[in-house]
Amino acid sequence: MSRKLTKEKALQIWTGDNYIYINRNLAGRNYKKTDMFVDYIEWNRNMYKISEIIKMLINSMLPFNYFRYENCFYRGEVYSLLTEESYNRETFTSICSDYEQALSFSESNVMFKITVDPEVFCIPTGIENELLIEPNVHWKYLGREGCFYLVHILPFNPNIKNYGKLIDEIEEAYIKENDQEILKLETNLQNNAFNDVGNIYDFILNNIEFFNVDEKPCYNFADFKADIRNLNIKTGLANLELLFEFYKSKI
């Protein structure tokens, strides 16, 4: 087989698992699906440079209005990466005209419902109902409609944040909020909020993750006792033994 890269070969490489390495080259460290950066992809026993695959895909694209599709598409997405903000998307993105097909890639049945501006460049992937959108386009958030996040894809907008930066900010806000919850819990502990063993049982049941069992493969009574003391929970040795048995039954 010829090593020469063609549009058909570039699309076949994209539609396999290699798309994550192509998008990693476009988005850099902001791409969440892999940390691995590679320059070449092996396909059918030949090596192809990712920069050349990207160039071939982009040069093979045409404006959306060329294809005369009905302008209604869907995209399943990981729930944690959905956002109610507009942003620039740095990567290639596949969208689908078939709802059920897109739903199979969704988490918690939450999806994008998408319209595409006539000037946005794209190409059919060769998979039925699927269209590949060029990198560096503007995803304009329009609101919610039931389980759908409504989006209109436009050409790149230099005044809007890139997706990677936006997701970093969302994750930082989540971490900050989570830290505040931990601080609130620790404050309650320091104020000796547990007046009886029953309250401690409830605490253990609702806060299993505060015990370092994952960090110690042979987590035992001594470790549990130390964690209880570190959390400033005061109770007698006999109660601790009962609590440890209760803890083991719940993990």
Rounded Cα gap, residues 247 and 23, in angstroms: 44
So what's the architecture of 62-162 in CATH? Alpha-Beta Complex (3.90)
Confidence of residue 17 (pLDDT cuts 50, 70, 90): confident
pTM beyond 0.85: no
Q: 55-96, pLDDT tens digit by residue? A: 999 999 999 999 988 999 999 876 656 677 888 888 899 999
One-letter amino acid at 75 equals R
Q: What are the start and end residues of each CATH 3.90.176.10 domain in the chain?
A: 62-162
Rounded Cα gap, residues 28 and 32, in angstroms: 9
pLDDT above 60 for 40: yes
One-letter amino acid at 41 equals I
Q: Which residues pair with 154 in a beta bridge?
A: 138
